[in-house]
Structures are given as C-alpha cells and as structure tokens.
Chain A
Amino acid sequence: SQQGEEDPQALSIQEGENATMNCSYKTSINNLQWYRQNSGRGLVHLILIRSNEREKHSGRLRVTLDTSKKSSSLLITASRAADTASYFCATARISGSNYKLTFGKGTLLTVNP
C-alpha cells in the first residue's frame, strides 16, 4: 500500500506565486524525503527531513514535518516555469539492514509563465 499520499494531485499556479504540497503517511518513519521528476525522467532529490526535525529550508524550499499528525508539507516560494514537474514525498523506513523508500502518489505542479 502507498505510504505517502500527496495532495493536491495537481496544482497550477502563476510564476512568482508560492506552491504548497502536502503529504500524509501511515506508519513510523526514519525520515521523509521530497523528490522532483521532470516528465518521464529520473527523480532528483530535493530535501530530507529527519523524524526528530520539524522544519528545514533549502534555497526556495521549505519542508515541515509533523510526526504526531504523520504529515509533511513542501513549500516552493517564488515559483518559476522551470519548477514545473511532479513532486513526490517518500518515507524511509528500516527494513532489516537496509531502508526502503516508499513514494507517495505525487503532485503535478504546473507553473505558468
């Protein structure tokens, strides 16, 4: 079953606006990561937030994590047309001597110039 569930499934905004995507999950996690995927290409890691962290920033990205609500949000500020992509949250859980990433369904972000 899907560990992460993003909403909205699709988001369309104008360049310069902020974009917020949310992710919910069901079980305990080691960390939560956000990835971006341009159409039909590989995924690019954006940011990782550990289970004992509440907020993290990287450039125009701001991620929050609420483990009590099992939810996270990704905020992209001052969006650009180049930010158009699918965004996935992924929860990392320990499995034996490895960890597994389980991806949510993703949010398709369209930034209109």
Chain B
Amino acid sequence: DTEVTQTPKHLVMGMTNKKSLKCEQHMGHRAMYWYKQKAKKPPELMFVYSYEKLSINESVPSRFSPECPNSSLLNLHLHALQPEDSALYLCASSQVGLRGTPTANEQFFGPGTRLTVL
C-alpha cells in the first residue's frame, strides 16, 4: 500500500469551531509532515514528526496543534482559525534512516483537505 489518505476532503468551519484533520499511511514510514498550500502557491512546511515525536515546527501559530498518536496516524487539530487560514492542507510521509541519521528521501503526499474558514 503506497497511499497516504486524508480526511475529510473538504471542510468548512467557523472561526469559533474546533475541528481535526486526519492523515494515515501504512507504508511503515516513520516521518510524517503537514504542509499548507494557498491557491497558486507552493506548499509550505508546517510540522515534521519523526518517530512520532515533533521534530520541526515552522513557527506555526498555536491555533494549529499537531498530534501523532502512532506511527501510521497524523492529526492536525484546528481551533479559532482565521479566514486567512483557508488553504489546502497536505499530509506527507517518508522513510527515515537509523534513529538520528538524517535522510532526504522522496515524500509521499495525500490528496489534501481543502479547508475554508468563514
């Protein structure tokens, strides 16, 4: 199975809502990523998890809260978002080397969640 799945495909939420985005992969990848992509722009890295631990936070506002409950799942909890947070949120996964050994392998992306904040 070489697929990364994301749910939901579309999400509309108000600024006071709490919602979660989910990502799942069964490729045995131990690195997982969240990206944000605005229309006609490239993806921008938000978070990196390595061996289920947060290893990179690209100064993302605290209204975005990532969680990696196990090696196959990655969540992004959303709370008190702003209309400018409307975007395509992409999840990706990749292999890692031995613990502490950096690698630079290809990333496998999910189809994304299209988020609209009203």
Contact = CB atoms under 8 A, between A and B. Distances in A.
Nearest to A103: B42
Contact of A45 (B50, B102, B106, B110): B106
Contacts of B100: 97
Interface stretch (A61-69, A70-78, A88-96): A88-96
B66 interface: no
A100 B112 CA distance: 19
Contact of B109 (A42, A48, A94): A42
A96 B112 contact: no
Contacts of B81: none
B107 A45 contact: yes
Contacts, number: 65
Contacts of B74: none
B102 A94 contact: yes
- Which has the most chain B C-beta neighbours within 10 Å: A35, A99, A104, A105? A99
Interface of A: 2, 30-31, 33, 35, 40-45, 48, 88, 92, 94-106
Given A96-B55, A102-B45, 14 more contacts: A2-B42, A40-B88, A43-B92, A43-B109, A45-B106, A45-B108, A48-B105, A96-B102, A97-B102, A98-B31, A98-B50, A101-B107, A103-B44, A105-B41
15 contacts: A41-B111, A41-B112, A43-B43, A43-B109, A45-B109, A88-B42, A96-B56, A97-B100, A97-B101, A97-B102, A98-B31, A100-B48, A102-B45, A103-B43, A104-B42
